[in-house]
Amino acid sequence: MKRKLSLLLMTALLATTLAACTSSSGGDASTTPAETSNAASEEKTQEADEAPADTGTTQEAEVAETEADELEGEITFWHSFTQGPRMENIQAAAEAFMTDHPKVKINIETYSWGDFYTKWTTGLASGNVPDMSTARAGEVVEMINADAILPLDDLIDSIGRARFYESPIQEMTYSDGNCYAVPIYSHAFVMWYRKDLLEKYNLEVPKTWDEFNEAATAITQGENGEVYGCSVPMGTNDLYATCFLDTYVGSNRESLITQDRKPNLTSPTALEGIQYWVDMYKNNSPADSINFNTLDQATLYYQGKNAFDFNSGFHISGVEANTPELLDYIDCAPVPTINGDGNPDYIVNNMPMVVWKNSAHPEICKAFIEYFYEPDNYIPFLHSVPVGMMPALKEITNDPAFLNNDTIKKYQNAMETISDALSHGTYIAMEYGPCVEAGILANQRVIENMFQDIVLNGTPVEEAAQAAEEQLLELFSAAE
Amino acid sequence: MRGNKKMIASMTSWFFVLPAILVVVLLMLYPVTSSIFYSFTNKNLIKADFRMIGLDNYKAILSDKSFWTAFVTNLKWTAISLAGQLFVGFTAALALNRIKRGSGIYRTLLIIPWAFPSIVLAFSWKWILNGVSGFLPNILVKLGICETAPQFLSSAELAFPTLVFLNIWFGAPLMMVNILSALQTVPQDQYESAQLDGASGIQSFCHITFPHIRMVVGLLVVLRTIWVFNSFDIIYLITGGGPGNKTMTVPIYAYDTGWGMRMLGKSSAVTVLLLLFLLLVCSLYFRLLNRWEKESTS
Amino acid sequence: MKKGKLLRRARPGTIISYVYLTVLSLVAVFPLLWILLSSVKPKGELTQNPTAILPSSVTWENFKTVFQQLNFGTNVRNSVIIAGSTTLIAIIIASLGAYGVVRFFPRFGKFMTRILITTYMFPPILLAVPYAIIMGRIGLMNNRAGLVIVYLSITVPYALWLLVGFVHTVPLEIEEAARVDGANKIQVFYKVVLPIMAPGIVAVAIYTFINVWNEFLYSLIMMNSTEKMTIAVALKSLTGQEVLDWGVMMAASTVVVLPSVIFFMLIQKKIAGGLAQGAVKS
């Protein structure tokens, strides 16, 4: 026993000394360069505050720049635009920026949304986050709460606050009055349908949820499994059931959250909405959709196997990539409403870009973002998913260069529908401003689990909604 | 002089074991102790400040119905998968041991599943079983075996059995290969003399084959119990615990708690409980193995 | 005469064996076959005609995407480097350790192997966050060496534990004879013990390599740069694309799984020897 103990002690002692050695030597090696560049950048940030305004915007400014004003350093930029053209556009912009600023290096990494989430949360614990990144709207408040990102008001003012649409900026302005993100584009969830199928079954574009149900049912029955009326995605690895429910509730201009930030799944409209989608799932959706995430759901529409879907203008490029022969038959329309008054609130997603507090070079991030908004970079970026990404800057919306795109011209109606939707809505549960609760409601899969529970276990809607509400309440209070 | 030599000798002895001790202690000590420590705190994954909350995490978990559901699912997952892997592995090994021609080919084909990284396993089977355009559901309908396409991964009844099947598919080759090579170490003359004594096939299996290979089987069962019990990849990548938590095991529950809800403290407590349970199970196993070992040496 | 009797008795059992093995082989091979076939089918055919087994025409488009656009070659190389060096280091440490524990610290050895098997029980998820924190602190995040270190912690205990069994198979007399001839401990280990343990070491090395090659969670958490990612994570990132392309996914899967399968076929005899010997003789 004694021997065991002494052995243990010895190993422990050895371990600690060795640990101390490695950490100090490793620390030295890694911090020295970082520290020096840190110190250098600190000096620079003061000047850099006004520097972004003249870097890269005008040629003369660049010439006039003194050595000290020149941007220098390496930044890492994580984004989730894994799709080819968008990725290439960002890469091209970064390369052009690096040519203008030879001492700057921008490392770009792309992650799918799910992986990005795992990475930034774990990264925050280990001090391993990027300098700048995209984010999901629901996550920004969490990042603020974790004291992880920087206010970007100086950047917004430098670009010109008035040039941005007001609502995205408002949505990203936290209760402390600072705005922590810039919108790089916007999109809204509208109703996508298939013109050919509506024609085939002699249907009008539905304006109420009842009409929608009739149309979906007619198509499901008529197509006999070849095409589904409306797939209802309920996968717990994504937030799509929440989107569908929020679309229904929003169509009645209500919210999944109350003004005092409590979950609101048991309001008459919410209960009605849950029942509506459960019925829709049972009657008009492939059984597999209970596991569907965004991509599974969208792919079904891309392949022409889903007649109705709720999503953004990304559907056009998806169909183009999968079944181009359907391109003439797709279009979108406003979301149905309960009584057909045609005045719904939409899910609007303003894609945020954030700068991380850990960054040694926020000035480079900001300068790059500003550079990115220049029409020469920004318009090609928006054109990489035409109609899918709507400009966050007002003047671009009417810029002939932006409008001069075949897809944008072809889908005039979709452009107008989505543009109109953008001004009538917020991100999920952000009707009363950005809050952690909205992020939890959207991202914790409570609503998806609730739907699965109803479908698989036959739990009554009211009971399941009540249970989900309680679970959310618990999560809300745990987040405080 | 002699003392010096002895010291050198003992130093060389240490030279052998020190690297291993260092790896284990250095690499495990911090993560494990910090996990145990976090399990008594309310640590949030993305926030720096936390405080000690005693046994609250444990209390919360043990009184959470879905934890117990996950635990039961985990037990079923481990037991059925292991039994299946062992059965398929054992019978395949016996069959391979029996045949003369083509055993090399069969063996090569049968170990293929083992070469599948879990991510490829997930991709390929998800694609084969895809409810809309997967091969298997569609061919079953086409052949008239099923009326509508069976939802292997999305129905409440089929999702769990399907995952267990995939786990057996993946794990059986390892069992087979090891049992087969153990079978080949059984001295042939024992069989022959047993046969001369008029022993039946089953009798010679019970009295010669099994005692001879049970150490291997026992060891395999221990290793695979731990592995399967802790396995995360396959379930996470295929169903993520759904639908309706039907395939939720404790590691998935821990992941959801730690990352999904960011309650790192609570998820640490979950994994500590998992560890305690495994320790208990394995000490029972080892007791059995020790007994077998003693029997075979005496 | 005896031989004839054996054959006659074996016949029905042998037929059943062949039938059983054929069925099992079909189930075992089908997914591989399906990946291969799906990866060369032209776009659209995958979803339009799910039950067609053979492609109407063969296309290499998907593979082009995998290698040119997604640059999978780099990820394959990373996985080989990481899995290879982890295996090498782990095996060296573990075989030294296994031998040392058995020969020089027999009493402590039992205690140590208990500890080892316990560490093997730690759920990987339990350790993920602490590893991320510690690697972040010593600056080894997003670093292949860092990932190798983390992998050592999950492979060494397991390898050592398996190898202890093999050390027991080495007859003490041979070692003593060598000692009498004047060899020191290290020479004995290197010249006498190692060759005897070789089959076991190879088997354990293969297990280690496979486990690391397949590992997913740590690799996802620790690697940030695409050019440093392992193949498992690079593959996973395909599902996060905005367009779900089963053809490309199947082509990428082929790229990952085909080398593994060939590797397995080549080394299958070696794995077979593996665990069993150590276990039987320990």
pLDDT digits 0-9 by tens, A361-402: 999 999 999 999 999 999 999 999 999 999 999 999 999 999
Q: Are A359 and A75 in contact (CB under 8 A)?
A: yes
- Residues in chain B with CB shorter than 8 Å from the CB of C46 are 133
Best mutation site among A8, A456, A457, A470 for testing chain B: the one with the most B CBs within 10 Å?
A456
Residue B280 has pLDDT above 60, yes or no: yes
Residue B184 has pLDDT above 90, yes or no: no
- Three-state DSSP class for residue A237: coil
β-pair partners for A106: A75
CA distance C99 to A140: 54
What is the per-residue pLDDT for A82? 73
DSSP assignment string, chain C: -HHHHHHHHHHHHHHHHHHHHHHHHHHHHHHHHHHHHHHTSPTTHHHH-TT--S-SS---HHHHIIIIIS-HHHHHHHHHHHHHHHHHHHHHHHHHHHHHHHHH-HHHHHHHHHHHHHHHHS-HHHHHHHHHHHHHHTT-TT-HHHHHHHHHHHHHHHHHHHHHHHHHTS-HHHHHHHHHTT--HHHIIIIIIHHHHHHHHHHHHHHHHHHHHH--HHHHHH--SGGG--HHHHHHHHHTSSS--HHHHHHHHHHHHHHHHHHHHHHHHHHHHHHHHHHHH-
Task: Report yes or no: A452 at the B interface, CB cutoff 8 Å.
Answer: yes
Spell out the domain ranges in chain B: 1-38, 54-297
Interface of B with A (CB under 8 A): 21-22, 25-26, 29-30, 45-48, 130-133, 149, 151, 153-156, 239-246, 259-264
Q: Are B117 and C32 in contact (CB under 8 A)?
A: no
- Span between the terminal Cα atoms of chain A, in Å: 48
Average pLDDT of chain A? 85
Residue B7 has pLDDT above 90, yes or no: no
Q: Give the pLDDT mean for A411-422.
A: 95
* pLDDT band at A80; cut points 50, 70, 90: confident
What is the per-residue pLDDT for C157? 86
Q: Which residue has the higher pLDDT, A61 or A314?
A: A314
- Three-state DSSP class for residue A191: strand
* A29-38, A218-227, B221-230, C237-246, range with the lowest pLDDT: A29-38
For B21, which of A11, A122, A290 is closest by C-beta distance?
A11
* pLDDT band at C199; cut points 50, 70, 90: confident
pLDDT digits 0-9 by tens, B226-272: 889 988 888 988 888 878 888 999 999 998 888 888 889 999 999 89
Do the Cβ atoms of A449 and B240 come within 8 Å? no
What is the per-residue pLDDT for A321? 82
Residue A337 has pLDDT above 50, yes or no: yes
What is the per-residue pLDDT for C241? 62
161-190 of C, contacting A, C-beta below 8 A = none
- Asked whether the domain spanning A190-347+429-478 has the same topology as the one spanning A2-188+349-426, the reply is yes
CA distance B53 to B38: 10
Best mutation site among C220, C244, C248 for testing chain A: the one with the most A CBs within 10 Å?
C244
For A7, which of C108, C132, C221 is closest by C-beta distance?
C108
What is the per-residue pLDDT for B3? 58
Structure tokens at C73: 């070659």
Spell out the domain ranges in chain A: 2-188+349-426, 190-347+429-478
* Nearest CA among B3, B13, B21, B43 for reference residue B264: B43
Q: Which residue has the tokens 């990820």?
A: C75
Q: Are A476 and A440 in contact (CB under 8 A)?
A: yes
Task: Report yes or no: A322 at the C interface, CB cutoff 8 Å.
Answer: yes
* Nearest CA among C264, C251, C231, C254 for reference residue C79: C231
* pLDDT band at A17; cut points 50, 70, 90: very low
What is the per-residue pLDDT for A211? 96
Q: Which residue has the higher pLDDT, A124 or A255?
A: A255
- Three-state DSSP class for residue A257: strand
For A109, which of C108, C221, C225 is closest by C-beta distance?
C225
Q: Which residue has the tokens 């990352």?
A: B259
What is the per-residue pLDDT for A100? 94
Q: Give the pLDDT mean for B3-12.
A: 72
What is the per-residue pLDDT for A29? 36
What is the per-residue pLDDT for A16? 38
Maximum Cα–Cα distance across chain C: 76
pLDDT digits 0-9 by tens, A425-458: 999 999 888 888 998 999 888 999 999 999 999 9
Structure tokens at A249: 């509730």
Q: Which residue has the higher pLDDT, A247 or A434?
A: A247
CA distance A453 to A271: 15
Q: Which residue has the tokens 């794990």?
A: B171
Structure tokens at A359: 């960054």
What is the per-residue pLDDT for C274? 55
- Three-state DSSP class for residue A331: strand
CA distance C133 to C143: 14
CA distance C101 to C82: 27
In this structure, chain A runs to a length of: 480
* Nearest CA among A338, C52, C25, A188 for reference residue B133: C52
Average pLDDT of chain C? 83
Best mutation site among C48, C242, C249 for testing chain A: the one with the most A CBs within 10 Å?
C242
CA distance A190 to A206: 13
Structure tokens at A453: 């529970």
β-pair partners for A354: A133
**CA dihedral angle for residue A135, residue A138, residue A142, residue A144, rounded to 10 degrees:** 60
Region A190-347+429-478: CATH code: 3.40.190.10
Q: Are A68 and A328 in contact (CB under 8 A)?
A: no
What is the per-residue pLDDT for B49? 85
What is the per-residue pLDDT for A4? 46
Q: Which residue has the higher pLDDT, C13 or A305?
A: A305
Q: Residues with Cβ < 8 Å from A429, sequence gap 6 or more?
A: A246, A255, A256, A257, A437, A438, A441, A442
Q: Give the pLDDT mean for C123-134.
A: 83
pTM score, whole prediction: 0.84
Which CATH architecture describes the domain B54-297? Orthogonal Bundle (1.10)
Tell me how far the alpha carbon of residue A73 is from its chain's centroid.
28
Q: Give the pLDDT mean for B171-176.
A: 91
Region A2-188+349-426: CATH code: 3.40.190.10
* pLDDT band at C270; cut points 50, 70, 90: low
- Three-state DSSP class for residue A93: helix
Do the Cβ atoms of A118 and C135 come within 8 Å? no
What is the per-residue pLDDT for C275? 56
pLDDT digits 0-9 by tens, C140-151: 888 999 999 999
Q: Give the pLDDT mean for C11-36.
A: 92
pLDDT digits 0-9 by tens, B25-52: 877 788 888 889 999 999 888 888 889 9
Instruction: Quote the percentage of chain A above a pLDDT of 90.
Output: 66
Options 3.40.50.150, 2.40.110.20, 2.70.50.60, 1.10.3720.10; CATH of C64-278? 1.10.3720.10
Q: Are A319 and A326 in contact (CB under 8 A)?
A: yes
* pLDDT band at B71; cut points 50, 70, 90: very high
